[in-house]
Amino acid sequence: MVAVIDYDAGNIMSVIKAVEHLGHEALLTRSADEILGADHIILPGVGAFGDCMEKLRSCELEDVIKKAVDKGIPFMGICLGLQLIFEESEESPGVKGLGLLKGKIKKLPEDKGLKIPNIGWNSLSFPREGRLFRGIDEGVFVYFVHSYYLQAEDESIVTATTDYAAHIHASVEKDNVFACQFHPEKSSDPGLKMLDNFLGI
């Protein structure tokens, strides 16, 4: 069973439909027992960093997520879900993230003549091998919607990058924690392959 964490954020149903399309049972939940008993966990989300951290904490999900990661359950953050697993964001100064991984979320610079937010398809480079990208060619295009981007402290966890107004750490992997700034569930067949790779871990 795949637990999709429910904290009233946007873009959750498209993730559930993608998981079910791949032949897995998806359960939208904020139950500690269901999350800790899941085979895989996905933290999706679209919204503001501070608001969503407040929702996670009001739903008493912060400690549950940390326990699940410590337990070794494969965990994946998508879009805002990637940003929340890091330490802090320029979007919400003073608000602490989950801190599962070290790094900061920064605002895309507006002085490059590019539209912000970045909405559309960007190609990925693979600085190192990541399990999400097995069977996927470098240069693949995936779908982004974001105004903020990750700058990971430890670049050895970065498995995919792209460039749009800045050099963006687009995907990370460390032990059982995975995350993508882009939306694999909206990235056609290659995105579904990435999700399938995650669900096979």
Q: Write the CB contacts of 110 (distance below 8 Å, at least 6 apart in sequence).
A: 116, 165
pLDDT digits (tens, 9 = 90+) for 99-141: 999 999 999 999 888 999 999 999 999 999 999 999 999 999 9
Nearest C-alpha neighbor of 46 from the set 185, 177, 165: 185
According to the model, what pLDDT value does residue 8 have? 84
The pTM of this model reads 0.96
Average pLDDT over all residues of the chain: 96
According to the model, what pLDDT value does residue 111 have? 84
DSSP state of 132: G
Q: Kindly report whether the peptide bond that precedes residue 93 is cis, defined as omega within 30 degrees of 0.
A: no
According to the model, what pLDDT value does residue 52 have? 94
Whether the predicted pLDDT of 62 surpasses 90: yes
Nearest C-alpha neighbor of 171 from the set 79, 108, 88, 96: 79
Would you state the torsion angle of the CA atoms of residues 9, 189, 159, 123, taken in this order, to the nearest 10 degrees? -100
* CB half-sphere exposure, 127, CA atoms < 13 A: 16
According to the model, what pLDDT value does residue 51 have? 95
CATH (residue range 2-199): 3.40.50.880
Whether the predicted pLDDT of 10 surpasses 80: no
Q: Which two tokens stand for residue 139?
A: 């240069």
Q: Write the CB contacts of 57 (distance below 8 Å, at least 6 apart in sequence).
A: none
pLDDT digits (tens, 9 = 90+) for 74-90: 999 999 999 999 999 99
Residues known to be catalytic: 79, 183, 185
Residue type, 68: A
65 falls in which pLDDT band (50, 70, 90)? very high
Q: How far apart are CA 46 and CA 97, in angstroms?
A: 15
Q: How far apart are CA 192 and CA 190, in angstroms?
A: 5
| pLDDT above 90 coverage of the chain, percent | 95
